[in-house]
Structure 1
Amino acid sequence: MPSSSSVTVTSKCTVYPNQKSTIKSLKLSVSDLPMLSCHYIQKGVLFNSPPYSTNDLVNSLKQSLSVALTHFPALAGRFETDSDGYVHIVCNDAGVYFIQAKAKHLTVNGVLPLNCDVPHCFKEFFTFDQTISYSGHDKPLAAVQVTELADGVFIGCSVNHSVTDGTSFWHFFNTLAEINKGAMKITKSPDFSRDTIFNSSAVLRVPVGGPTVTFSGNEPLREKIFHFTRESILKLKSRANNGFSQSAGLYGKSLNDNWNFAAKTRTEISSFQSLSAQLWRSVTRVRNLELSKPTTFRMAVNCRHRLEPKMDSHYFGNAIQSIPTIATAGDLLSHDLRWGANLLHKNVVAHDSDTVRRGVEDWESAPRLFPLGNFDGASMTMGSSPRFPMYNNDFGWGLPQAVRSGRANKFDGKISAFPGREGNGSVDLEVVLAPETMAGLELDEEFMQYVTTV
């Protein structure tokens, strides 16, 4: 497996917006501030080589990034904490980093081994490794790294987590690809309004010297991508709903639904809830916990469409909340899949506009950083979403071969959900576990029967 020295940085510069920002300052919200102790988001896409030189690609990407930053001026700014303790994004056009790197001894197929752990080299395809978001006071809020392989290229993007959630991250990334492909006008403009329920007068008191990440980051971990076809997830969903299965067409619609459609089917356990419940069961089983031990499955939810009135779907910033579902190991394992899936389902459905507002009020009563990690050895945290348009990134020569992430925010029990490359409702789960737990999961027949291994 490639070592950490397998990537060589060949150039680094700062890219600035091609027009000055008309936005002066954006105050961090109740949903942004807790992320100050989280790492920068690191996600990227792997392509086959473009039909032109690397220098042409790099020059094109720099120009496209400059244009994209004009539409997303927040990313070219810096943080500033005012005298009252409020943190703002000052949209001062200070720019973002652009890094060019080489790893010509690596191939596309070589970094996508079948049925193996994710190679370490992907951690080197990103800038701002293990940088916490509070660092945005003196570091750029985003960076793009282009790494040239023997027969491909990886475009990795690191963005401050107090500036974006997953929805906003992929909006920016999709726009960068769209511009690079030659679009004269972008499809979706970001909404930078700050007149939402998340805008608050509450002040987060940060420790002297700034916050630190809330998990060690030093424990041994394994990371693996498990692929689930549409057919496998249909079987899981049918099992979770005690044999009831939707038609294939309705299934595809439900996976990519909006909240209105979901409201009509709120009595039915969804495909993603079914998959999450199976993972929760299997990981809990192989961890060999005491039966009385409480286990927690935490899911991040997008609140844009849950609020009444709804927020703009292209609101740029964090608009997420975390839903914890708790059950003892004994209860989770002694019941069938439907029992755990129904717990997740009920919590997600119940997270309506009133619940979002109560969450805001709860944070305002005791402002705090988000405690990311697995503190009791019995927790799991699901991030990202199979609904994010990760493969809708054509920079001009075709769609990605794979989506991968960096080292950011990873600990025992951290799961990220990606759409499968073939689309059509398939899902990839990026699973990070302690080595002995991963070894047990690979032998868990209840889980592995749904995984595509070739």
Structure 2
Amino acid sequence: MSCFRTQQKKEKESKMSTPAIRRISECFVKPRSSNKICNLAHWDIAMLYTNYMKGCLLFKKPATLIHEHNFKQNLLEKLKTSLSLTLSHFYPLSGRLLTHKTQNPPSYTVSIHCNNSDGARFIHATLDITIADILSPRDVPPIVQSFFDHPKPLNHDHHTMPLLSIQVTELVDGVSIGCSMNHAVADGISYWNFFNTWSQIFQAQSQSENHAYDVPISRQPIHDRWFPNNCRPPISLPYKEHDEFIERSEKPLMRCRIFQFSAESIAKLKAKANSESNTTVISSFQSLSALVWRSITRARSPPSDQKTTFRLAADCRSRMKPPLAEEYFGNCLHVVSAEATTKELLKNGIGWAARKLHVAVTDLNDRVVLESMEGWLNSPFTIQMGRFIDPYSLLVVGSPRFNMYGCEFGMGKAVASRSGSANKLDGKVLSYPGREGGGSIDLDICLLPHTMSALESDEEFMNAVTEFDPLLF
């Protein structure tokens, strides 16, 4: 307890000494044409209760951006121009949510309308801290949350607010490009397709003298939402008001920390998991997930007969028949799970846990997805994270396959990535690729303070962690 109090004291002192962020300017960016309507699929509607997806990339500030005039002309204006061109391809992000309600019978439909919308919000802010101030602390510092728009509201709240907000925060020696995207509009694959396309258009425009408007893109988004044969859009919820399916609650204090795993460390975990299971089919990510499941369960110290659950948000695009294209823009996720008692999980080793996760993932097919969808259509609900994660479960989202560090905006490769406070609950784990590549993985783990302290003392877990110094890049 004394260690926790010491940590709280340090955090309090840090907050007192941390300068406040200043918003310099704010405007809206629109595509050339966006007079369209987009119905939400059941995957999208289920996300109305959750928070915006938030991620930022931290770049070292080049010498060409040191002066204020150059920063505005060489970065901000080019970001706005390329964003407008990108929104022409990703037009739903320029729209607003619109609800249509009827009383008898009760009906509640939500769709995306781009007609006469203001577009996406673009914010320029400054903060008098360095990249080291962000990356050096053991835990992700609270100041990172100021890099994003939409601090607390739910996806459903933003009927008059932009579905996409970009915040460019100028630091002493760096630049943060933060993106907040409504999770009812898109999932992580769509999010990073947008980010990568924006980067691609930015670079093409920077190399073009005439700034042509016909920049070709490598992955054209597909906006026709998928609906089962027995479902005609728009999907109607059997409610009269949003408070019948939207609940709000206060979140307890959490610690969030980035743990880095080198490709070599993960290869050792994979070899061990496959050897213990006498197989070769267990993947690197399943092996790492097994380590996380076992280690956090051990840190929580539940009773030996307590059931623990590992949940993983899996992409359904390739699992549908016929498969949906990776460019499908929207949500296309299904949560798979594996269960075990504490005794089973800790007695049997990493290979046993990894095998259970492998089976859970490989068993996911279009039949499972369609059955789940049919159940949802018969009894619609929105995902409520507080109920979705119990004190003995984990939820892993994101993917180490996202091309996060392929996004460049004239400042070279990002030195680090950080996420916002969205849906940060005890047992939430965000996975993404390591900066050094080669199969390395970073995990953004959120836990109750005492559980995080126990995890940091877990020998098996910490022996697999490989801490890199991003300031060396």
TM-score by length of 1: 0.90
Which residue does 1:41 correspond to in 2? 53
Which residue does 2:471 correspond to in 1? none
Q: Using the TM superposition, give the Cα deviation of residue 216 of structure 1 relative to its aligned residue in structure 2, in angstroms.
A: 3.9
What letter corresponds to residue 188 of structure 1 in structure 2?
A: R
Which residue does 1:321 correspond to in 2? 334
Are 1:91 and 2:107 counterparts?
no
1:82 pairs, out of 76, 92, 100, with 100
1:40-189 alignment runs, 5 A limit: 40-50=52-62, 51-52=64-65, 53-56=70-73, 57-83=75-101, 84-92=107-115, 93-104=117-128, 106-113=129-136, 116-183=138-205, 184-189=215-220
1:235 pairs, out of 268, 283, 295, with 268
Per-residue displacement from partner, 1:287-321 (whole Å, max 9, x unpaired)? 01011111111100111111110102101000111
Which residue does 1:418 correspond to in 2? 432
Instruction: Give distance in 1, aligned partners of 2:339 and 2:246.
Output: 24
Are 1:312 and 2:334 counterparts?
no
What letter corresponds to residue 40 of structure 1 in structure 2?
A: Y
SS in structure 1 at match of 2:406: coil
Q: Using the TM superposition, give the Cα deviation of residue 206 of structure 1 relative to its aligned residue in structure 2, in angstroms.
A: 5.1
Instruction: Give structure 1 stretches of 5+ with no counterpart.
Output: 246-265
Are 1:299 and 2:312 counterparts?
yes
SS in structure 2 at match of 1:370: coil
CA contact (8 A) 1:40 1:159 kept: yes
SS in structure 2 at match of 1:239: helix
Change in CA separation of 1:313 and 1:197 when aligned onto 2, cut-off 3 Å: farther
Q: Using the TM superposition, give the Cα deviation of residue 208 of structure 1 relative to its aligned residue in structure 2, in angstroms.
A: 2.8
CA contact (8 A) 2:24 2:125 kept: yes
Q: Using the TM superposition, give the Cα deviation of residue 379 of structure 1 relative to its aligned residue in structure 2, in angstroms.
A: 1.2
Per-residue displacement from partner, 1:406-428 (whole Å, max 9, x unpaired)? 11110111100010001110000
What letter corresponds to residue 90 of structure 2 in structure 1?
A: F
Instruction: Give distance in 1, aligned partners of 2:230 and 2:334.
Output: 14
Q: May I ask how many residue pairs the two structures share in their alignment?
A: 430
Percent identity over the alignment is 40
CA contact (8 A) 2:389 2:395 kept: no
SS in structure 1 at match of 2:404: coil
What letter corresponds to residue 387 of structure 1 in structure 2?
A: R
CA contact (8 A) 2:108 2:240 kept: no
SS in structure 1 at match of 2:48: helix
Change in CA separation of 1:80 and 1:386 when aligned onto 2, cut-off 3 Å: same
Which residue does 2:29 correspond to in 1? 15
Instruction: Give structure 2 stretches of 5+ with no counterpart.
Output: 1-13, 102-106, 206-214, 469-473
Instruction: Give distance in 2, aligned partners of 1:68 and 1:30.
Output: 26
Per-residue displacement from partner, 1:389-445 (whole Å, max 9, x unpaired)? 111101122111111111111011110001000111000000000000000000100
What letter corresponds to residue 332 of structure 1 in structure 2?
A: L
1:289-368 alignment runs, 5 A limit: 289-368=302-381
Change in CA separation of 1:216 and 1:380 when aligned onto 2, cut-off 3 Å: farther
Which residue does 1:269 correspond to in 2? 282
CA contact (8 A) 2:39 2:110 kept: yes
Instruction: Give distance in 2, aligned partners of 1:76 and 1:199.
Output: 30
Change in CA separation of 1:89 and 1:81 when aligned onto 2, cut-off 3 Å: same
2:405 pairs, out of 391, 401, 405, with 391
Higher fraction of helix: 2
TM-score by length of 2: 0.86
SS in structure 1 at match of 2:134: coil
Q: Using the TM superposition, give the Cα deviation of residue 2 of structure 1 relative to its aligned residue in structure 2, in angstroms.
A: 4.7
CA contact (8 A) 1:12 1:97 kept: yes
Are 1:193 and 2:207 counterparts?
no
Deviates more, 1:296-305 or 1:80-89: 80-89
1:434 pairs, out of 443, 448, 472, with 448
SS in structure 2 at match of 1:82: strand
Q: Using the TM superposition, give the Cα deviation of residue 107 of structure 1 relative to its aligned residue in structure 2, in angstroms.
A: 1.1
Change in CA separation of 1:213 and 1:127 when aligned onto 2, cut-off 3 Å: farther
What letter corresponds to residue 271 of structure 2 in structure 1?
A: S
1:237-256 alignment runs, 5 A limit: 237-242=270-275
Which residue does 1:225 correspond to in 2? 258
